[in-house]
Structure 1
């Protein structure tokens, strides 16, 4: 599982010209679910997401997490994070989980976040989405379950 976190001042996602999810200050989480990912993988990355100290404190130091900052999280599915571009010019997506399993774990990730009393907005799984955000910092963090220790 890979999650790209972007600290944002505001963000929204549209499907067919309709806003389906939006947040003010907080995080945009682009989520790619891979083959072999599990409920434990999801729990570990959700915990890492809410506990990363990447928001400024009163001294301007990145010392607060999204909960302490009062931010929300916009969760968007993005299987292309699992692209394998090592050979040729066309990415391979064989490392991505099958759609049914990916949707289940994507929803579970969002539920784990919401269980922490965080405002969570979502895109629509497998939809053609247009994402808008004002990146704050910019601060962009890559979480990869292969590299995260629970």
Structure 2
């Protein structure tokens, strides 16, 4: 499981012109699910996302996690994160989870996040989404579980 996290001032996701998820300051997470992933992978990645220190403390150092910074989390499914780009000029998605497995793990991840953080929103699985954000920093990290 891969997660691209971006520290944001605000972020939202729209489907067909309607906002389906939005947060103020916090983390935008683009979530990729591989065929080898499980609920244990989701739990491990969620722990990393919630505890990764990307927010500044009083001294301006990145020492605070999203919970300590009282930020939100916007989770958007992003199957292209698991693409193999090592060869050629076209990505291979052979490592990606089936749509059914990916949706089940995405839903599970979102439910677990909502149980741990007050402000959690999500995109719409397998939809054509438009994601808008104001990257804060910019601060972007690729996390793997």
Could you list the structure 1 runs, at least 4 aligned residues long, displaced by more than 4 angstroms after superposition.
Answer: none
- After superposition, where does 1:59-70 map in structure 2 within 5 Å? 59-70=59-70
Mind listing any 5+ residue stretches in structure 2 that lack a counterpart?
none
RMSD: 0.9
Q: Is the contact made by 1:30 and 1:77 (CA closer than 8 Å) also made in structure 2?
A: yes
**What is the deviation of 1:42?**
0.4
**What is the deviation of 1:118?**
2.9
Q: Give the TM-score normalised by the residue count of structure 2.
A: 0.97
Mind listing any 5+ residue stretches in structure 1 that lack a counterpart?
146-150
Q: Which residue number corresponds to residue 109 of structure 2? A: 109
Q: Give the TM-score normalised by the residue count of structure 1.
A: 0.94
Count of aligned pairs: 145
How far does the alpha carbon of each residue in 1:52-98 deviate from its partner, in whole angstroms, 9 at most, with x for none? 11101111111111011010000000000011122222211111100
Q: Which residue number corresponds to residue 9 of structure 2? A: 9
Q: Is the contact made by 2:72 and 2:117 (CA closer than 8 Å) also made in structure 1?
A: no
